[in-house]
Amino acid sequence: MSEFIKTGNATSRRSFLKTSTLAASALPLRGRLLAQAAQADARIDVLPAEPIGTISPEIYGHFIEHLGGVIYDGVWVGEGSAIPNEGGIRKAFIETMRAVQAPLLRWPGGCFADSYDWHDGIGPAAKRPARTGFWGQQDSNRYGLHEFLRTCRAIGCKPYLAADLRSLPARDFYQEIEYCNAPAGDVPSNSAAKAEPNALAAERAANGDAAPFDVDLWGVGNESWGCGGNMSPEEYATEFRRYTAWTPSYSKTPLRFVAVGPNGDDVDWTTRLFKALYANPERRHLWGLSVHYYTSGSATKFAQGDALKFDNDEYYDLLTRGSIMERVVTDHWRAMRTEEGQPRVKLVVDEWGAWYGKGTELGPEYNLSQQSTMRDALLTGITLDIFQRHADKVAVANVAQSINCIHSLMLAKGDKFTVTPTFHVFQMYLPHRGAQAVRAEFTAPVIRNGMANASTPAGGNSYRGSLDASRALAGLSGSASVATAGNGKQITLTVVNPHLDQALTTEVVIHGAAIASATGTVMSETDVHAHNDFDHPNAVHPRPATTGQPAGGRLLHTFPAASVTTLQLTLA
C-alpha cells in the first residue's frame, strides 16, 4: 500500500479516504463525487478563507555577476557587435527578461561585489581601468553602473545593487547612493544656505544620465561570513550599523537595506545577528535579511554532480534537498524573532538554484555555466511554490544567475542562444504575481529518498554548513493564489508532480466554492534529462494541459509524471 503525505502534515491513506468521504457526503452529487474521489490518487484542498499574504512580484527576481560569461557575452556584447543588441546589451537577454516580466535585477555580485569599486565602471569607456576581479578574471570595466541601469530600463525592472562592504569605506557606500539618487540641478540645502547642484549628480549627468537612477534596494555586503570578509555575526552587525547609520535620502520612501543573512540554514548566524543588531537601538533601514541557499548536484559535496547525467535516485535526492528551502525560510523567520517579537524585516532569498560541478559548461572561460534539464524545471517549480506558500515572509528572491551561470534561464555564446526549461517555469508562474496566496493542502503518495544517508551540504561559494539528511519528498506540492481582479473567482494553482513513473489523478477541491471551469499549461517530457541546447532551443517547452470537466464543483485532473502544471480555475 502506498504511503501518503499531506504537505506539512503527514497523514495515512485511510484518513485521506475518510476525509474525502465525509466531505462528499454533504453534497447533492454524492454518488458521482464518491466515484470521483475513489478514482483519485491524490487530493488538493484549496482554502480561500485562509489567506497567507500578497505574493510579492519581486520573488521572481534575477541576478547577474561579473563571473565567467555572465556579463561579457551573456549580457554585454558591445555596441559594435554583429549580435543583435540595444546599445551593447544582448537583445535576446532583454527580450527574455521582458518575457518573464523580470521585476528586479541584482548586480554586480555575488562575491565579486565585495572587491568592486563602482568608480572603475563610470566615465568614458576608454579611460576605465582593467582590473582583476574576485573570480580571478580580468575585467575591462566596460560594463559599469550606467550600462547596468540601462539594462534595467530596457527590461523595465528595478535595480538591486550589492554594495562593497569588505574593501571600500562607508563613505563610498553613501556616495554611491548619492551618485545614483541625487537629483540633477539645484538641491535644496535644508539649511540657511542656498540650494546648490550636487557634484555627484552633476558627474552622473556628465556620464550620460541626468535623471536619477532612484535605486532603493541595497545589499549591504555579500556573504560576509565568507567571501565578504569572514566575519562573525557580531562583527557584521557592527559594520551594518556603521554603513547604514547615515545615508543620503532624496525621496519620501525609505531606502531598503538588506543585511547579509545565513549560509544555507545557518540559524546560529541569524539568531546572533539579530541579537547584536537589536541590542543597539539604532537599527534604522534594516528592511531585509538575505538568504543564500543552493542545492548541490551531489548528495555529499557542494557544487558537484552532473547537470545532465543522473540516475533516478539522484533525481529524487536533488529535489528532496531542494525542498529544504521551505525549512530554510521558516527556520530563519523564527530565528529573526527577538524579545520584542517578530521584526518587520522580510526575507530576501537573493541567491538560489541547483549548482552542479564541471562537465557541461559552455567553454573553459564560462566559469560556472551549466546545462539545465527538466529536473531543474521541477526544482524551479518547487522553489517558487515555497516562496508563494510563504508570501508573508519572502519579499524578494533572485535566481542565481539569469544567464550562463548555475540555475540559468538563458544560455548564450557568441551568436548562439537558447532559453532553458527554467525560463518556461518562470513564465508559467506569472499569474501568481501580486495575487493573494491562500493555504492549500496536498495529499499524495510520499517518495522516500533512498540517498538520505548523509548530511546535506548547503551554502554558497564559501561553503561551510550542512543540514541533516532529508528522507521524504512530497509526492505532490504546489501553491494557490486568488487573483486580486476577478471578484475572488480566479484561482491559480501551480503543482509539481515529481514521481518519475506515476501520473497522479487528483481531486481538486476549493473549500466554500465550486469550480466552474479550468484551463492549464503543463511542462512534462518523457525523459527528465530533456533539455534545450543551441541546436534544439525548443526541445523542452510547455503545452496546453488537458483538464477534466468539473463535476459537482470539483475537478479531477491528472498531473503527468515529472511535471510542472499551472491551472487557472474559474469559480462559479
Instruction: At 80, list the grid cell.
Output: 559594435
- How many DSSP H helices and E strands does the chain contain? 12, 31
If binding is defined by CB under 6 A, does position 58 make contact with ligand AHR? no
Of residues 367 and 449, the one with the C-beta less far from ligand AHR = 367
End-to-end CA distance of the chain: 37
Q: Which of 59, 125, 118 is nearest to 398 (CA)?
A: 59
95 phi and psi, to 5 degrees? -65, -40
Stretch that binds ligand AHR, among 80-88, 400-408, 479-487, 520-528 (CB under 6 A): 400-408
Per-residue binding letters, 404-443, with ligand AHR (x by CB under 6 A): --x-------------------------------------
CB of 401 to ligand AHR, least distance (A): 6
| Member of 351, 361, 385, 441 binding ligand AHR (CB under 6 A) | 351
| Member of 20, 271, 360, 401 binding ligand AHR (CB under 6 A) | 401
Non-local (6+) Cβ contacts of 288 within 8 A are 256, 257, 258, 259, 345, 346, 347, 348, 395, 396
Residues 508 and 555: beta-carbon distance below 8 Å: yes
| Member of 56, 141, 271, 461 binding ligand AHR (CB under 6 A) | 461
Between vectors from CA 422 to CA 528 and to CA 44, what angle results, nearest 5°? 75
Bond from prior residue into 304 cis (ω within 30 degrees of 0): no
- The residue to which cell 548566524 is assigned: 269
CB of 67 to ligand AHR, least distance (A): 6
- The neighbouring-strand residues paired with 397 are 349
CB of 89 to ligand AHR, least distance (A): 21
Of residues 404 and 497, the one with the C-beta less far from ligand AHR = 404
Q: How far apart are CA 110 and CA 398, in angstroms?
A: 11
CB of 222 to ligand AHR, least distance (A): 5
Hey, which residues between 119 and 178 contact ligand AHR (CB under 6 A)? Answer: none
Q: Cβ of 99: how many Cβ atoms within 10 Å?
A: 15
If binding is defined by CB under 6 A, does position 65 make contact with ligand AHR? yes
If binding is defined by CB under 6 A, does position 465 make contact with ligand AHR? no
If binding is defined by CB under 6 A, does position 68 make contact with ligand AHR? no
137-140's contacts with Cβ under 8 Å and 24+ in sequence apart are: 137/66, 137/67, 137/68, 137/367, 139/66, 140/72
Hey, which residues between 273 and 292 contact ligand AHR (CB under 6 A)? Answer: 292
If binding is defined by CB under 6 A, does position 400 make contact with ligand AHR? yes
Bond from prior residue into 110 cis (ω within 30 degrees of 0): yes
CB of 294 to ligand AHR, least distance (A): 7
Q: How far apart are CA 165 and CA 162, in angstroms?
A: 9
Provide the residue type at 341 as one letter: G
Non-local (6+) Cβ contacts of 168 within 8 A are 117
If binding is defined by CB under 6 A, does position 109 make contact with ligand AHR? yes
Stretch that binds ligand AHR, among 106-114, 381-389, 450-458, 502-510 (CB under 6 A): 106-114
CB of 402 to ligand AHR, least distance (A): 11
CB of 296 to ligand AHR, least distance (A): 12
Size of the site for ligand AHR (CB under 6 A): 13
Of residues 176 and 223, the one with the C-beta less far from ligand AHR = 223
Of residues 288 and 460, the one with the C-beta less far from ligand AHR = 460
Of residues 110 and 478, the one with the C-beta less far from ligand AHR = 110
Hey, which residues between 195 and 234 contact ligand AHR (CB under 6 A)? Answer: 222-223
| Member of 57, 74, 110, 542 binding ligand AHR (CB under 6 A) | 110
Q: How far apart are CA 324 and CA 470, in angstroms?
A: 8
Of residues 64 and 530, the one with the C-beta less far from ligand AHR = 64
Q: How far apart are CA 108 and CA 113, in angstroms?
A: 6
Non-local (6+) Cβ contacts of 183 within 8 A are 198, 201, 212, 250
Q: How far apart are CA 108 and CA 121, in angstroms?
A: 11
CB of 554 to ligand AHR, least distance (A): 43
Provide the residue type at 304 as one letter: Q
Stretch that binds ligand AHR, among 399-407, 440-448, 489-497, 525-533 (CB under 6 A): 399-407
Q: Which residues bind ligand AHR (CB under 6 A)?
A: 65, 109-111, 222-223, 292, 351, 400-401, 406, 460-461
